[in-house]
Chains A and B, each alone.
Chain A
């Protein structure tokens, strides 16, 4: 098996694991970790493309590296935002579980 194929399969496995985790785990922290796993799979796939030399037929291609750095920064910011929301939710409500159905907004006071 070629290097590209091996790492391509690894990235597919990571993406599948991440998706499975996102859908099955009710706790937001686990969901965030799962989405990081998913992102890692996608980033690894960029590595595979760089290794294959892309469609332009080079031996190696630096452009996917540049893109993956941006992707990592974006995923990092998203994780930070999500963790901040979870922490705040825990502070406000004492729990951070998305699996439990939230109180129906219609029973609450109107937002202002």
Chain B
């Protein structure tokens, strides 16, 4: 394999950045426990520019060299050792994660700062350490190249995300967190069982080696199905979405933004890793159609349920259920298609553009919804009248993010949905085009249900004032989602870096 040959070049300095990207936030977590919440906030603020810099350098290096960056831990090459690897996708995910974590952190400072009279307060300490933990786990998920390492990263992600849901300690959020945890636990056990099957069959868990060894046989099918099912539960794909809306809507706004924009994408990333990288050529067109159908179900049901929610944050949470569905339309449009060019096709880029643009748009929406709820003291849609006049910047951020979810040009969401539409037209799978268009209309409907009263006269009376710099955060994120619409409507080269040559496995 090319991977193992490239792995020997681990001596270059950039490769150490892969380790730093994981170790720095982990170190921050440990230090925070020792030093208390006031220092924890400072540690996060120091690590943010560092982490963003590291992600940026990794992206630049991968882009410049056109090759995946690898680091072999302890100099032991797989199958004896474990490898970290950043391809174009991982690098883009690292940068997205760093930006959104930074936005959430700046936004959260007003709510989770430590009071003057103490150095250690429980809620801020929990928030800042969990934020770092989620960051570390996400970096480990996108850089891991060993299925068992990825299992550990996935569990760290869950353990960071679940307590974020119940930070306010109310009974509903505790129930939501518990449900989330139980779903996630079953999901990870399925994943682990699949990993065990693969190890038992091929004696390795390294993704590159597995790809060269897998053959279509019963154990591999069982492993693939188990791991996929487990990861779908964690990604909250229809019909396993039940835990998501109460969990994401109940969390504090900054936490909701991270959960909805990033955490569910972590397990989606692993679905892609398993389908295309670890087990290439194992899943046929029919299984990809099933995955696409679940995605279509998510788009339709998620949007319809979003339309019926009486509360703003619940609408945004159900909209996440719907938008996750688009990600899974990528699979039927890539696997078993006639073109035979998986990474240079429109579906691949469209799917990932959906992930990135949704990450920014949804983070912006949750933060904006959080500000509205804070200012009004409630987030009932029926009583949102005139909020657009009282909080114009926040409402604009919310609306811009909504444009991206609907897929209106020029937004990142438009690019994503347009490319998925093009792909479904080119592959002759018109049914996905129908779903994408219906989803866009329904997204428009639930956005207008919020925006029409929001723009109404008279100006809403605010119960609490909102700091101007906090309003800037969702606006900035929404503008990023908008700017993603300026990327050319063609397959992106960055996303093709480090991909295997084809979807065919080692099967003779």
A-side residues, CB < 8 A to B, are 15, 19, 22, 28, 31-32, 35, 38-39, 42, 45-46, 48-49, 52, 54-57, 61, 63-64, 67, 70-71, 74, 77-78, 81-82, 85-86, 88-89, 92-93, 98, 102-103, 105-106, 108-112
Given the interface pairs A92-B171, A106-B314, the reply to whether A52 lies near B185 with Cβ below 8 Å is no
Q: In chain B between 169 and 226, which residues have their CB closer than 8 angstroms to a CB of chain A?
A: 169-179, 181-182, 185-186, 188-189, 192-193, 196, 199-204
Given A81-B159, A88-B174: 13 more A-B contacts, CB < 8 Å = A38-B189, A81-B163, A82-B178, A82-B182, A85-B162, A85-B166, A85-B177, A85-B178, A92-B170, A103-B171, A108-B170, A111-B250, A111-B251
Q: Which 6 A-B pairs have the closest CB atoms?
A: A55-B203, A93-B171, A56-B203, A49-B200, A110-B378, A89-B174
Among B166, B178, B311, point to the contact of A110 (Cβ < 8 A): B311
**B29 to chain A: closest CB distance in Å?**
14
Check B172–A103 contact: CB distance below 8 A.
Answer: yes
Given the interface pairs A15-B193, A78-B159, the reply to whether A31 lies near B182 with Cβ below 8 Å is yes
Residues of A within 8 A of B379 (CB): 110-111
- Please measure, in the bound complex, the distance between the C-alpha atom of A19 and the C-alpha atom of B202, giving whole angstroms: 27
**B216 to chain A: closest CB distance in Å?**
16
How many of chain B's residues have a CB under 8 angstroms from any CB in A? Answer: 53
6 interchain pairs (CB within 8 A)?
Answer: A55-B203, A55-B204, A74-B188, A88-B169, A102-B176, A110-B379
- Please measure, in the bound complex, the distance between the C-alpha atom of A64 and the C-alpha atom of B313, giving whole angstroms: 44
Given the interface pairs A15-B193, A28-B178, A45-B196, the reply to whether A110 lies near B202 with Cβ below 8 Å is no
Check A82–B175 contact: CB distance below 8 A.
Answer: no
Among A81, A92, A111, point to the contact of B162 (Cβ < 8 A): A81
Residues of B within 8 A of A89 (CB): 171, 174-175, 178
Residues of B within 8 A of A85 (CB): 162, 166, 174, 177-178, 181
Check B171–A78 contact: CB distance below 8 A.
Answer: no
Residues of B within 8 A of A77 (CB): 155, 159
Residues of A within 8 A of B380 (CB): 106, 110
Check B193–A45 contact: CB distance below 8 A.
Answer: yes
Check A54–B199 contact: CB distance below 8 A.
Answer: yes
Number of A-B contacts (CB under 8 A): 135
Residues of A within 8 A of B249 (CB): 105, 111
**B438 to chain A: closest CB distance in Å?**
26
Check B252–A111 contact: CB distance below 8 A.
Answer: yes
Residues of B within 8 A of A74 (CB): 151-152, 155, 188
Residues of A within 8 A of B203 (CB): 54-57, 61
**B317 to chain A: closest CB distance in Å?**
10
Q: Which residue of A lies closest to B313 (CB)?
A: A111
Residues of B within 8 A of A108 (CB): 170, 172
Among A42, A46, A102, point to the contact of B246 (Cβ < 8 A): A102
B61 at the interface (CB under 8 A from A): no
Check A81–B314 contact: CB distance below 8 A.
Answer: no
Residues of A within 8 A of B202 (CB): 55
